[in-house]
C-alpha cells in the first residue's frame, strides 16, 4: 500500500526487517495469547504477530489504513488464516478492560501522544499481563531512570510505582519511513504482581508527585509547602532541601501515606 504518513497521527512506519524480527522475538507471542496492537499501521508488526497468534486485536484511528486492512487481511498471511479484530478507535479513549483479562499490549506508539497513552493504560493495568512499546528513546530513558539522574521525573515515579520496566532495543531513525528526527527504543513493561510500596490513597500519591516535580529545580520544602510542613519532613526523615529527583518511589509513597 502506498500511504502518505499523516503528521497529525504521528505516523512513522517501521520498515527494517531485522529490527522487526528483534521486536517480535522480544514480545515472544504464544498462539493462545490475548494481544492487542495499538497503531498497526501498514502491518510491520501485525503480520509477523498474526503468524504466531490465533487471534489479534488492533486499534487504529486512521480510516484510510482501516480500509486497507479490511482488504489486506481477508487473504491468508503467508498461508495462515488471519484472525484479526479491527477497532476503529482512539487508543486514548479505548476501554482495554473490554477485551478481557491477561491482556498483552504492544505497538509503535505515536510519539506525540505516547505519555498520555501510557497513563491511560495505567488506568487499565489490572487486566494487563505485559506491554511492549516502541517509543522515543528519550521517553524510554525517562521511564526507566533511577533517582538523582537527569532523566528521572514524574513519569519515572508514576510508571515505576505500577510497573517493572526494561529498556530492550535502541532503534535508529533510518529503520522507519518517514525517518523521525529522534532515536527510538523498545521497552518492556510488566505490572507488579504485588506493589513494592502501597499508597493508601493513590490520588493523593499522584498529587504529591505532580507537586514535587512541578518546579523541579526548587527544593521539596518549596514545592510541597502546601502539603507538607517541617514537622512532616522530620517525621519522615526526608531532607526538605533535597529536590524531587532525589527521592525514590518509596519516599513519595511514604509522604502520601503520612498525609493521608
> At a CB cut-off of 8 Å and minimum separation 6, what does 68 contact?
1, 3, 42
> At a CB cut-off of 8 Å and minimum separation 6, what does 180 contact?
12, 111, 136, 173
Answer yes or no: pTM beyond 0.85: yes
185 & 78 share domain: yes
Give the cell for residue 205: 500519591
236 & 153 share domain: no
Give the cell for residue 64: 484510510
Instruction: Give residue 76's pLDDT.
Output: 76
Is residue 125 included in any domain, yes or no? yes
Q: Which domain holds residue 219?
A: 202-259
Q: How many domains does the chain have?
A: 2
Round to whole Å and give the CA distance between 245 and 253: 14
Q: What is the 3-state secondary structure (H, E, C) of the chain?
A: CCCCCCHHHCCCEECCHHHHHHHHHHHCCCCCCEEEEECCCCCCCHHHHHHHCCCEEEEECCHHHHHHHHHHCCCCECCECCCEEEEECCCCCCCHHHHCCCEEEEEECCHHHHHHHHHHHHCCHHHEEEEEEEEEHHHHHHHHCCCCCCCCCHHHHHHHHHEEEEEEEEECHHHEECCCCCCEEEEEEEECCCCCCCCCCHHHHHHHHHHHHHCCCCCHHHHCCCCCCHHHHHHHCCCCCCCHHHCCHHHHHHHHHHHC
Is residue 99 included in any domain, yes or no? yes
Instruction: Give residue 75's pLDDT.
Output: 76
CA–CA–CA angle 84, 86, 88 (5° rounding): 175
Instruction: Give residue 111's pLDDT.
Output: 81
- 240-257 pLDDT tens trace: 999 999 999 999 999 999
With a cut of 50, list the residues of the chain below it in pLDDT: 1-10
171 & 73 share domain: yes
For 123-141, b/e burial (b = at least 16 CB within 10 A) is ebbebbebbbbbbbbebbb
51 & 163 share domain: yes
- 112-153 pLDDT tens trace: 889 999 999 999 999 999 999 999 999 999 999 999 999 999
214 & 252 share domain: yes
Round to whole Å and give the CA distance between 51 and 29: 10
Cα distances (Å, whole numbers) of residue 246 to 156, 232, 238: 12, 17, 10
41 & 131 share domain: yes
88 & 154 share domain: yes
22 & 151 share domain: yes
Q: How far out from the chain centre does Cα 174 lie?
A: 22
Is residue 196 included in any domain, yes or no? no
Is residue 243 included in any domain, yes or no? yes
Which of 191, 211, 226 corresponds to the end of one domain?
A: 191
Instruction: Give residue 11's pLDDT.
Output: 54
73 & 162 share domain: yes
62 & 181 share domain: yes
Amino acid at each position: 500500500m502506498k500511504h502518505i504518513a499523516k503528521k497529525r497521527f504521528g505516523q512513522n512506519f517501521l520498515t527494517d526487517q531485522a529490527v522487526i524480527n528483534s521486536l517480535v522475538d522480544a514480545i515472544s507471542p504464544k498462539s493462545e495469547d490475548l494481544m492487542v496492537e495499538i497503531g498497526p499501521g501498514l502491518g510491520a508488526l501485525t503480520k509477523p504477530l498474526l503468524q504466531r497468534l490465533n487471534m489479534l486485536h488492533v486499534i487504529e484511528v486512521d480510516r484510510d489504513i482501516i480500509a486497507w486492512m479490511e482488504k489486506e487481511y481477508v487473504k491468508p498471511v503467508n498461508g495462515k488464516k488471519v484472525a484479526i479484530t479491527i477497532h476503529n478507535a482512539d487508543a486514548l479513549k479505548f476501554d482495554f478492560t473490554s477485551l478481557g483479562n491477561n491482556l498483552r499490549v504492544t505497538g509503535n506508539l505515536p510519539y506525540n501522544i505516547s505519555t498520555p497513552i501510557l497513563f491511560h493504560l495505567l488506568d487499565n493495568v489490572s487486566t494487563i499481563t505485559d506491554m511492549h512499546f516502541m517509543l522515543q528513546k528519550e521517553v524510554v530513558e525517562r521511564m526507566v531512570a533511577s533517582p538523582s539522574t537527569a532523566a528521572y521525573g514524574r513519569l519515572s515515579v508514576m510508571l515505576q510505582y505500577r510497573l517493572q520496566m526494561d529498556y530492550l532495543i535502541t532503534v535508529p531513525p533510518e529503520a522507519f519511513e518517514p525517518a523521525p528526527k529522534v532515536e527510538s527504543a523498545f521497552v518492556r513493561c510488566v505490572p507488579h504482581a504485588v506493589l513494592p510500596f502501597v499508597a493508601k490513597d493513590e490520588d493523593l500519591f499522584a498529587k504529591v508527585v505532580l507537586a514535587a516535580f512541578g518546579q523541579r529545580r526548587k527544593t521539596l520544602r518549596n514545592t510541597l509547602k502546601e502539603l507538607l510542613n517541617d514537622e512532616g519532613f522530620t517525621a519522615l526523615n526526608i531532607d526538605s532541601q533535597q529536590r524531587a529527583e532525589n527521592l525514590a518511589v518509596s519516599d513519595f509513597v511514604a509522604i502520601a501515606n503520612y498525609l493521608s
